[in-house]
């Protein structure tokens, strides 16, 4: 008996990749999913961090998609290698710091390595021509196939009929006639197909699949690079950019101030890496200091965090400063008034 042909599906957790994989399963292809973890993925994190979200059951959409399809899912950590994509995208950034085209090329090239190592025949993605302004245009889809090295091993079942024939089609592994010709920004064809397959409750991310498409997040990342004098980040940095209020009173340091209890607990975990501040006389947030500070800066930081505590109207608030070596210092400060906090401090 003939072994079925095997395809690796790039699974983001959104509807398009779910449908693309389903179309292949319907044609008798053996499909397994690959999900790349860049560190910026919208999945997870913020839910874990913010207390108010914790009541909602949280799910990883890529895992959910795989379960709906009844396929295996391989989650691949590309955090380190992905940095190069974020720092120097050959094709530039999108509206924010999202290097979508380079990102797609990188992911498909990783998928190509994976199929070679695991004896799979081809790669599928849920890309649709014209769906996304940067990476999914008629001109860019061939760029992804070409620069990733995947060439005609890359099949996009949702818009294949608008594209040149790929190997899986010409070799007769899949029937081109039963592929689709979706194009443009409309989501209607996908939604109709989802209904036909009986998928409900699927994720519909508004912007993109990652935080780099988020304007506010990108501003914070750009600020971090500027403050450090070069493009650089560690996993902790990109986590912390998702948490709290970020204020930069001087070029040398910024404050990360928790907005609620969940964030406070999360920031607690970083008190050995960053000096921290908390209010003692009044309930209030926890803040981390990222950068270099002198005594004057610490006092300013203390007045700022006092402003966000329940003692904001008080004459004096007691604030405790903890150095990274655990050394404590107590300060009595007057909270800053709202008009004393320039707009430019907010990142």
Partner 1 sequence: MNRIELDCRRLLCPMPVIRVQNRVAELEAGVVLEVYCTDPGVLNDVPAWCRINGHKVIETRSESGLYVLVIEVGESE
**Which of partner 1, ligand SF4, none does residue 43 bind (CB under 5 to 8 Å by kind)?**
partner 1
Contact between 104 and ligand SF4 per CB under 6 A: yes
Closest Cα partner for 250 from 280, 198, 211, 294? Answer: 294
| Sheet containing strand 328-333, strands side by side | 245-250, 253-257, 286-291, 276-279, 317-322, 328-333
| Residue 72 interaction partner, one of ligand SF4, partner 1, none, beta carbon < 5-8 Å per kind | partner 1
Where does this chain touch ligand SF4 (CB under 6 A) — which range of 18-26, 168-176, 202-210, 237-245? 202-210
- Residue entry with tokens 């009844």: 70
Tokens of 187: 């989501």
Separation between Cα atoms, residue 316 and residue 331, nearest integer Å: 10
Among 11, 18, 23, 103, binds ligand SF4 (CB under 6 A): 103
- Under rule CB under 8 A, which residues in 3-62 are in contact with partner 1? 35, 37, 41, 43-45, 47-49, 54, 57-60, 62
Q: 242 or 307: whose CB is closer to ligand SF4?
A: 242
Q: How far separated are the first and last CA of the chain, in Å rounded?
A: 62
The residue range among 16-24, 63-71, 86-94, 132-140 that interacts with partner 1, by the rule CB under 8 A, is 63-71
Segment interacting with ligand SF4, rule: CB under 6 A, options 183-191, 207-215, 302-310, 335-343:
207-215
Tokens 């405790």, located at residue: 320
Looking at beta carbons only, is 208 or 284 nearer to ligand SF4? 208
Distance CA 88, CA 70 (A): 37
Structure tokens at 11: 């699974």
Q: CA nearest 48: which of 60, 36, 66, 37?
A: 60
Give me the least distance between CB of 150 and partner 1, in Å please: 24
Does 283 participate in binding partner 1 (rule CB under 8 A)? Answer: no
207-246 residues in contact with partner 1 (CB under 8 A) are 239
Q: Which stretch binds ligand SF4 (CB under 6 A): 24-32, 62-70, 99-107, 323-331?
A: 99-107
Applying CB under 8 A, the site for partner 1 has a residue count of 28
Cα–Cα distance for residue pair 298/292, rounded to 1 Å: 10
Site string for partner 1, 69-108 (x = CB under 8 A): --xxxxxxx-------------------------------
CB of 239 to partner 1, least distance (A): 7
Site membership for partner 1, residue 120 (CB under 8 A): no
* Residue 290: strand, helix, or coil: strand
User: Which window, 95-103, 146-154, 315-323, 326-334, contacts ligand SF4 (CB under 6 A)?
Assistant: 95-103
Taking the complex as a whole, the smallest distance from the CB of residue 73 to partner 1 amounts, in Å, to 6
Q: Which of 159, 223, 214, 160 is nearest to 190 (CA)?
A: 159
The set of residues, in sequence order, having a beta carbon less than 8 Å from that of 68 and lying 6+ positions away, is 18, 199
Do residues 312 and 306 lie in contact, with contact meaning Cβ atoms separated by under 8 Å?
A: yes
100 is a site residue for ligand SF4 (CB under 6 A): yes
Contacts of 247 (CB under 8 A, 6+ apart): 254, 255, 257, 304, 341, 345, 346, 347
**Strands of 21-95, DSSP E:** 30-37, 73-77
Residue 69 makes contact with ligand SF4 by CB under 6 A? no
Task: Out of 73, 145, 179, 209, name the contact with ligand SF4 by CB under 6 A.
Answer: 209
The answer to whether the CB of 148 falls within 8 A of the CB of 103 is no
For binding to ligand SF4 (CB under 6 A), which residues are involved?
Answer: 98-100, 103-104, 135, 208-210, 212-213
For binding to partner 1 (CB under 8 A), which residues are involved?
Answer: 35, 37, 41, 43-45, 47-49, 54, 57-60, 62-64, 66-67, 71-77, 239, 269
């Amino acid at each position: 008996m003939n072994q079925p042909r095997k395809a690796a599906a790039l699974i983001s957790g959104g509807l398009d990749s779910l449908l693309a994989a389903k179309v292949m399963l319907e044609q008798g292809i053996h499909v397994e999913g690959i999900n790349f973890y860049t560190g910026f993925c919208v999945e997870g994190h913020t839910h874990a961090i913010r207390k108010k979200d914790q009541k909602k059951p949280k799910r990883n959409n890529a895992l959910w998609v795989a379960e709906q399809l009844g396929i295996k899912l391989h989650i691949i950590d590309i955090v380190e290698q992905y940095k190069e994509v974020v720092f120097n995208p050959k094709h530039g950034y999108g509206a924010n710091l999202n290097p979508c085209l380079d990102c797609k090329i990188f992911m498909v090239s990783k998928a190509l390595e994976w199929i070679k190592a695991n004896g799979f025949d081809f790669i599928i993605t849920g890309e649709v021509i014209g769906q996304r302004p940067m990476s999914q245009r008629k001109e860019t889809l061939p760029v992804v196939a070409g620069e990733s090295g995947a060439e005609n091993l890359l099949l996009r079942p949702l818009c294949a009929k608008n594209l040149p024939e790929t190997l899986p089609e010409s070799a007769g592994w899949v029937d081109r006639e039963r592929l689709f010709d979706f194009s443009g920004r409309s989501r209607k064809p996908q939604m109709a197909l989802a209904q036909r397959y009986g998928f409900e409750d699927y994720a519909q991310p508004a912007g993109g699949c990652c935080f780099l498409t988020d304007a506010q997040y990108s501003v914070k990342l750009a600020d971090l690079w500027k403050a450090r004098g070069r493009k650089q980040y560690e996993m902790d940095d990109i986590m912390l950019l998702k948490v709290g209020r970020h204020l930069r009173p001087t070029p040398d340091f910024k404050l990360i101030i928790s907005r609620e209890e969940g964030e406070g607990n999360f920031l607690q975990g970083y008190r050995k890496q960053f000096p921290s501040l908390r209010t003692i006389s009044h309930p209030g947030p926890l803040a981390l200091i990222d950068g270099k500070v002198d005594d004057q800066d610490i006092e300013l930081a203390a007045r700022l965090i006092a402003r966000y505590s329940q003692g904001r109207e008080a004459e004096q608030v007691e604030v405790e400063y903890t150095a990274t070596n655990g050394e404590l210092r107590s300060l009595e400060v007057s909270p800053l008034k709202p008009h004393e906090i320039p707009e430019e401090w907010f990142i």
